[in-house]
Structure 1
Amino acid sequence: MTTETADGNTSEQVVTVGAVTFTDENRWLRENTPETLAWQERENAATTAAIRGWAHFGEIRDQLGRTVADQPSNAEIWGTTTPRRMGRFWFRLAAVAADDPTLGLWVSETADGPRTLLVDPRDPAFGQGSQLLWYEPAPDGARVVFAAYPLGQTIGTLHVVRTEDGRMLPVEAPRHVAAGATPGWLPDGTGFYTADRTDTGEHRLRFVPVTAGVPAEADTVFPCDQLPHNTFTLTAQVSPDGARVVALAGQHEQIACRLLDRATGEWRPFLPADYRGECHGVWYDDDTYVAVVTGDAPRGRVVAVPVATSADERTWRELVPESEAVLRCVRKLGDDLVVCEIRDIAVEFRVVGATGEAKAAVPMPGSGSSPTAMAARRFERSTELTFTHETFQQASVDYRYLPETNELVRLSESGRAFPDLTVDRAFATSRDGARIPYFVVHRPDLDRSKPQPAFIEAYGGFNQALMPHYLGNVGPFLAAGGVYVQANLRGGAEYGREWYEAGRLANKQNTFDDLFAVAGELIATGVSEPGRLAFYGKSNGGMLAGVALVRRPDLWGAVVADVPLLDMLEFQSPGNPAAKEARGAFLEDYGDVTDPEDSRRLAAFSPYHNVRVGVRHPAVLQIFGEHDFGCEPFHGRVFTARLRAASAANKPLLRVRKDYGHLPATRAQAIEHHAEILAFVMDHLGMKPAAGNL
């Protein structure tokens, strides 16, 4: 296959990556040249016209305007909108006005008292089109650090606001990447530590004074051999007395890796040199760090680590032993601890004493998930336990836990809820015999005696669990008689470390086999049939969508690859300024393309390198954000070109969204985003919208 550029010249090149040599006819589409961007814009316009030209697009968008009204926005996905109490103040992100869903930072003195808008991202001082993705109050709540990000982008600027009067405090503001790292305040709120990267990509921890007279501290630049090789970002955790700092490496594997003695300025390893596994948690007191560890417990256990001897595992004291549940995070609540765990793909919270004795099971409002605890693998810092909870039927609701009575109090109105849905759980058998769980969700009156159109969603990667979540974004599909299927594949975190390891690196093939097993089971049991299955995957799931398309084109009527990687031999473009910030994340799940063995394995499943000439591929929609530094639009450009050259059937569609990063930045964007996805899927599955919502 040879592609011509706009001036008629071919661009075929022989390329070697690792131990793999291949002919690439689309090199010219990898860089953001004027010619390439013009090609992309033509594809974008054609895709928009094709999707929005469907006769029922407007109906789908209107229905989503109602069902997605309570869907998490970009900021909520990052887990920062649960009301939080610090000192005498309550903080929350909420719409700046009844007619403007832009999220601002509000403050009040009681959980349900009158609120004051503390930070309005529409303020011109932050730049046009700014958004808030997170905030972090000082321990006494008197000051708050936050970042303002240009719409859709992930590199923003830090600011500090004084809670009492809303005054912005002058600070030297480094850039900040919204990747789950949180600034660590000193106990007295006079300064905080934050992480960024040097110009050459090394991790750096910086101290930012907030009040006059606070001594400056030298930046710490960590050589690669002092951090886990897969470190994406760093979070600073300051001890209650301010004497020490734990550097927590993340994001998909959380590891407390370095310890700073602030009196001497010296860093040392926090863990034993031969420790393998995760170790992340919170300071319990000045001398003790309480952590979830997986080194010898794949589903996790909680230990108390004496910080003075943290590198000697023999001094660790077990508080919560490993069990059938998967421990995800731990926090302090008064003198007790709260652990978050996954049991049967549902989130649970338990309260235990300082020595690990069981005290209470938090009464969860149904079998569901808590995005604020699950997404970032931590509880938000707050003097009280607050969290969000949602199910397939119920949109996110904020709760406050009352330990004295073991009760929950709602902190927000009930979100949108579907009146009734049937939710079944089943298992498929993968190629190696593993049992793969999946959920089947549909209207209770749906005729299950014959196959129906089905929308499968899966992720299967990066130690993240795909949990039950409100299905507002597929509400019109369900209303029209479709079946939603959530497949929980290996590579995720649903069953702990072993489940994760079974779907990463050399075991990545298991993830693909698991998906095909679920699809096969849906066909075998009459839930759906070939050609009426749609697959949707985002990010790692988008890569999975690409694999599904080229490996099993016979299964699908439509495939949606949302912000995917599709060329697994060249993750990032040469000119990407943030390449090193995503590289660690890719290394830990996929492998190193410069390693001969890894490169051969990656080439074996890379969607771009496995497009077959003459195969009738199903309809495919690829979606990218122009500001996404991790999953760049060039993946879609080269994949589209190669698919088109391989077969004239079912023209591939490429959508590159303006002002988008890895996620929709606003609720309005989310509605448009999901409307286009559903319109594409329902059109190709032969569906029409129902009259009204569920």
Structure 2
Amino acid sequence: MNKLLFSMVTIMTVSAALSACTTTEQVSAEHADEELDYPVSPRSDQVTDYHGNSVQEPYRWLEDVNSQTTQQWVAAQNRVTLPYLADLEQRDALKTRLTQVWNYERSSTPFRHGRFYFHFQNNGLQDQSVLYVREGLNGAPRPLLDPNQLSDDGTVSLTRVMVSPNARYLAYAISDGGSDWVEFRVRDIQSGEDLADRLTGIKFSNVSWLPDGSGFYYSRYPETPAGDADDSRSVAIYFHRIGSAQRNDRRIYDLSQYPSWNPYPEVTRDGRFLVATVTDGFSSNAVHILDLTNRDARWRRIIDYWDGLYEFIDSDANLLFFSTTAGAENGRVIAVDVNRPQPQHWQELIAERDATLREVRYVGGKFFAHYLDDAHSQIEVFNAYGRHEDSVELPGIGSVDSLTGQASHLETFFTYSSFTEPGVTLRYDIEQQQVEEIDRAQSPADLSNYRTRQVWYESDDGTAVSMFIVHRHDIELDSANPTLLYGYGGFNVALTPSYNPSYTVWLEHGGVLAIPNLRGGGEYGANWHQAGTKLNKQNVFDDFISAARYLIDEGYTSPQQLAIQGASNGGLLVGAVMTQQPSLFAAALPDVGVLDMLRYHTSSANAKAWGSDYGLATDAEEFAALHAYSPVHNVEPGVCYPATLITTGDHDDRVAPWHSYKFAAALQNAQSCDNPVLLRVETRAGHGAGTPTWMRIDQVSDQWAFLLDKLQSESQSSNLNAD
């Protein structure tokens, strides 16, 4: 039960204090070693009882992100942070070099519908990539949708595109300011003109077209009495007919009697079945189907065991193909007969392997299986009966992105990248079993000077953990290298070798990049994921701390040159390890982090679904585990914490920005040394997806300048343009 002791008098005190807080003229990087004059962050007397444990929540008032008091506080934080960062000695040079390195032409993996091929392309510094279409693989591409024309500052982004099977229409989703909320629109592909269709109340749903393109299924949230979308409740599946107003859309499947279940639709390619993937967290799901050819048909729960993940691949008459972790921690492929859906009748097409199965596409009557073998990609080809036919040769140790193609095609496309390879687009000819390169991105930087190593180290409990380390080929292991340790460790997400221009500039500056494959991630199967969840979440932090100690023991770096970075769940990772081992790191970059683990689930139904990884404070045992590492609740006065730059976006409706606000307030109040604790709040930005190029460059310029200013290294004097 909450004991609400935070009075209006306190709120008035906050407002008065903020109105008198420091101005930009009071902050200068020339005096970075002096104590910063942070905005006042008053502490309330609010206390919450959790299972008989009284927990102080002095910064609960910051959860009201739209209040004038909180907005004044955020503005005051930016008035301290932004001038500080702008005055850092290397910031302008870093921004110049980042702009140069980001400026290269790049294209996405092509995807085909009928005789038309689609791809995204960016000329280098465009804020958003443009969607192109061409008739035939060698046809002349024409722009179909340019999201850069949707806003003056590039902050309206294109988040999803779905082409109708007959390639007549394009359904696309746009996001304003990085919000997870999207609006779906429909465009005529031939004319390039939009229809009148507008669909709202949607966050994470794709649309799934009927074969004739007359309409599609999608999932949306219910409405509040005021008519607003209510994401505190679960979604339902609706059908939208092209040319009709959304208010006329039929509700097809509603599971609101199960408040945490969310159904998302997919129509089989023959149009016979509507397949609903029912989610409840990130470790398992169910599958329900509806026979669209029978008006009297009722929904059937063909897979309702919640014993693993089931991802629909494709269909063939009565057979539905799934990849699943049920009975196979590394994944396998099964065929389920809709007339006999019980597990004893399942046919295993592709058995579990030592490598981790991440994605399967059914193209040209073949299964293309994307595996991770020690956290890097490999592609294997199987026929329709599961017999292995080919191993696709990749350019090196890297990552495959976006396998595309359909059952009727005789070609599939995918893109390969690595830490030092910006992207190679490849086409696999199914009849010839041959791979050909059709596009290659060319970085303005010389990437030949860098090497990638994969090492193994031991975590606290003896578990072996892999880590990628990228650095100049002539590195000296003298403990003097500025090193960035980046991690995630959650939600079955796999961190694999892929290209990021921001890391190129870090490497050019003599930096080392280290990325460990922590428990909680998806690199090594379902058990690896589960080993970093709920009561086992501390394993993730131990793995990360052990990675830091390995880098120090092996001479790559020292605590004075070691920085840590992570975003979202990775922001939690950074917040947890810097409060557990503050002396191990010189600087920290928690970005859009989940930092209050006792109340994260209160912001939305989507956030509550994270309980499959984190657990919930409403459970006594899970509360104890959460409270033990929750960054906001483990900041202690009198401790010297690393120099910290906390970043978030005020439009972030996935991880609420109040997580970062609370953490910044707690750290600023507790910090016992001169290391700065800065909060950078980007306006017109969300959780990261769709962020325009100029904004990304600005943020990385601030982050790298902050790190290089705080890491004590002789390498700081190296030339940014050395390559």
> Is 2:331 the partner of 1:300?
yes
2:639 partner SS: coil
Q: 1:432 to 1:323 in 2, by over 3 A?
A: same
Give the whole-Å Cα distance in 2 for the aligned partners of 1:525 and 1:680.
Answer: 25
Summarize deviations over 1:398-437 as a string: whole Å, max 9, x none.
2222222333333333232612312112111111110011
- What's 2:533 paired with? 504
Residue in structure 2 matched with residue 26 of structure 1 by the alignment: 59
TM-score, normalization by structure 1: 0.91
Partner Cα separation in structure 2 for residue 631 and residue 622 of structure 1: 14
Q: 1:125 deviation in Å?
A: 10
Q: Which amino acid aligns with 2:144?
A: L
Pairing of 1:195-206 with structure 2 (within 5 A): 195-199=219-223, 200=230, 201-206=233-238
Which residue identity does 1:45 align to in structure 2?
R
Q: Shift of residue 340 of structure 1? A: 1.1
Q: What's the counterpart of residue 553 of structure 1?
A: 582
Deviation string, structure 1 residues 558-581 (Cα, Å, up to 9, x no partner): 0000110111111166xx5xx113
Unaligned runs of 5+ in 2: 1-5, 18-41, 224-229
Q: 1:238 matched to which residue of 2?
A: 267
Shift, 1:518, TM fit: 1.0
Match of 2:453 in 1: 424
Tell me what 1:676 maps to. 702
Question: Equivalent residue of 1:516, what SS?
Answer: helix
Correspondence 1:267-666 to 2 at 5 A = 267-271=299-303, 273-310=304-341, 312-372=342-402, 383=409, 384-416=411-443, 418-571=447-600, 579-584=604-609, 586-649=610-673, 650-663=675-688, 665-666=691-692
Which residue of 96, 103, 109 corresponds with 1:69? 103
Q: 2:507, 2:151 → 1: CA distance?
A: 44
Match of 1:12 among 37, 42, 45: 45
Shift of 1:224: 5.1
**Does residue 150 of the first structure (1) align with residue 176 of the second (2)?**
yes
Task: Report if the CA contact (8 A) 1:29-1:638 is conserved.
Answer: yes
Q: Following TM superposition, by how much is the alpha carbon of 1:16 offset from its aligned partner in structure 2, in angstroms?
A: 2.5
The AA in structure 2 aligned to 1:174 is T
Instruction: Give the conservation status (yes or no) of the 8 Å contact 1:466–1:488.
Output: yes
Give the structure 1 partner of residue 31 of structure 2: none
Q: Which residue of 1 is the match for residue 94 of structure 2? A: 60
97-106 or 181-190: which moved more? 97-106
Displacement of 1:615: 0.6
Secondary structure at 1:198 match in 2: coil
Give the AA of the match of 2:61.
W
Alignment-derived partner of residue 41 in structure 1 = 75
Shift of 1:504: 0.5
Q: What are structure 1's unaligned runs of at least 5 residues?
A: none
CA separation of 1:382 and 1:328: change in aligned 2, threshold 3 A: farther
For 1:441, give the aligned amino acid.
V
Kindly tell me: are residues 593 and 665 of structure 1, through their superposed partners in 2, closer, same or farther at Cα, counting changes over 3 Å? same
**1:255–1:364 CA distance, 2 compared to 1 (3 A):** farther
Match of 2:166 in 1: 140
Question: Which residue does the alignment assign to 2:111?
Answer: 84
Q: CA deviation at 1:6?
A: 3.7
Amino acid at match of 1:480: H
8 Å Cα contact 1:153-1:659 kept in structure 2: no
Are 1:19 and 1:600, in contact at CA under 8 Å, matched by a contact in 2? no
State yes or no: 1:171 paired with 2:190. no
Pairwise CA distance, 1:339: 0.9
SS of equivalent to 2:374: coil
2:255 paired residue number: 223
Q: For the structure 1 residues 368 and 10, does the alpha-carbon distance in structure 2 shift closer, same or farther, using more than 3 Å as the test?
A: closer
Say whether the 8 Å CA contact 1:442–1:478 is kept in structure 2. Answer: yes
Cα contact 1:71–1:472 (8 A) shared by 2 = no
Show CA shifts across 1:300-340 (max 9, x none). 11111112222x01111111111111111211111111111
When the two chains are superposed, the root-mean-square deviation of aligned CA atoms in Å is 2.7
- Per-residue Cα deviation, 1:579-613 (whole angstroms, up to 9, x for no partner): 113321x1111012212221221111100100111
How many angstroms does 1:226 deviate by? 5.6
> Per the alignment, do residues 122 and 423 of structure 1 end up closer, same or farther by CA in structure 2, a change over 3 Å counting?
closer
- Provide the secondary structure at the position in 1 that maps to 2:440: coil
Cα distance, 1:524 vs. partner? 1.4
Q: Distance in 2 between matches of 1:125 and 1:688?
A: 40
Choose between structure 1 and 2 for higher RCO, CA contacts under 8 A separated by at least 6 residues.
1
Q: 1:173 to 1:466 in 2, by over 3 A?
A: same
Report SS of the residue matched to 2:418.
coil
Identity %: 29
Which whole-Å deviations, capped at 9, do the CAs of 1:617-651 have from their partners, x for residues lacking one?
A: 11111110111112122112211111122124223
Q: Does the 8 Å CA contact 2:586/2:711 hold for their aligned counterparts? A: yes
- Provide the rounded CA distance (Å) in 1 between the counterparts of 2:569 and 2:385: 39
